[in-house]
Structures are given as C-alpha cells and as structure tokens.
Amino acid sequence: MSARDRILQRLQSQWIASDAGDPDLAVHLDKQWSGDERLDRFQQMIESVHGEVVRVNRKDWSEHLARICAAEGFERVLVGAGEVADQAAAAVSGEVRRYDAPINEWKGELFSNIDAAFTSTRGGIAETGSLVMWPTPDEPRLMSLVPPVHIALLDGQTIGNTFTEVLTEQGWATQMPTNALLVSGPSKSADIAQVLAYGVHGPKRLIVLLIQD
C-alpha cells in the first residue's frame, strides 16, 4: 500500500467513525436575497475586505474601465482573448498587453511591467462577496494572481445567493474545471504575528465593474 493510499484510508476511517452523515444543505440554501438586495449584499461583503465596486451599465462598462485606467495612470494593462477582452483593449488608452505567449517567455514582464490586468468572471456569491472565476487559455489564472491591480467585470445577473447555489446552478459536479478561483478582495495574509495585511502576495487592489442592469 502506498503512502497516498494509507492517508486516504485513515481519512476514510475517521469519517466513518465520526458518523457525520451527509451534510444538511438546507442550512446553506435558505439564504435568499432579491435581485437588488443580492447586488447590495455582494458589494457590502467584498468592500468589507477592501474590494472596490463600480456600478456600471451593460452598454457603458468599457467607458468606466477607460476612466479608471486613465485616472489611476495605468500605462500597461493586461487583457486576455475573446470579445469582452477586445472591448476592454479598445477602451484602454495606454499600452495593451495580451496574454498570448507561454509564461516562461515573458515572466519578467508579467511580474515587473504590468500595471493592471482585466478579466471577465463566471459569476459571484452574494453571501461572501466572492468572484467566481474559471481560468481558461484565453484568460489564464496568473492574470488575476500576479499584476498589482485586478479589474474584473461581473454581470450582476450571474451572482448567486450562496456558494451552494452557484455550485448547483452552474453544474460544477458535471464540469469541474482544472482550476476554479473564488476571489474575495485583494490578496491578504495573517501569517506574520497573526496581523491581517493586504497586498502581501498578489494584487494589492481588486476593482469590480458590476453590471447592474
């Protein structure tokens, strides 16, 4: 028996011994907010951990993106591929960098010369104020993990009440991605002296363009 099998066997035996049974999903499904309440709850929760939310309309989000980049002085903005990325690239006045090469070919530039990255999202969670992201070849996971500022476009209609609701409605059980990211605010850590600090590793800021119509 391998070391992995021994570990799994111990975990399984502990679960059986605990007689835990199946989890009560009703506890996680009884939290319901209306459409506007859901958006407000999401914004309240993500702002409580230093996330920033800008309410936008479906037709003008790219204009808000352009104003943010200009006001913040972002000279080099990273975008992926696809229709939404093309809209973002057209709006940004500074230099646009595409994630169009293997990471080993431009690692230095990604870690040192990108001011902000723009990505789409798969949805959000109102209960916790979290973004749901499934990285793809068009938008690799490093886009939301490395640049100092992460700008994310979130359609308010894709915000679920709870994580359990999102798992069910998006069918995670049948199409789980290689990587699934839940992003709740900028990077943070309490490793040193148990003091919570933001921007320690990863984006120092998270700006969410929240489509509300």
Residue with tokens 């229709």: 83
Higher pLDDT, 31 or 98: 98
Indicate whether 198 pLDDT > 80: no
**pLDDT tens digit sequence for 139-191:** 999 999 999 999 999 999 999 999 999 998 888 888 877 788 999 988 777 77
The burial class, CB within 10 Å (0-12 / 13-18 / 19+), for 153 is buried
**Torsion region of 173: left, alpha or beta (phi above 0 gives left; psi -120 to 50 gives alpha):** alpha
pTM above 0.85, yes or no: no
Tell me the torsion sign for CA atoms 18, 176, 129, 191. Answer: positive
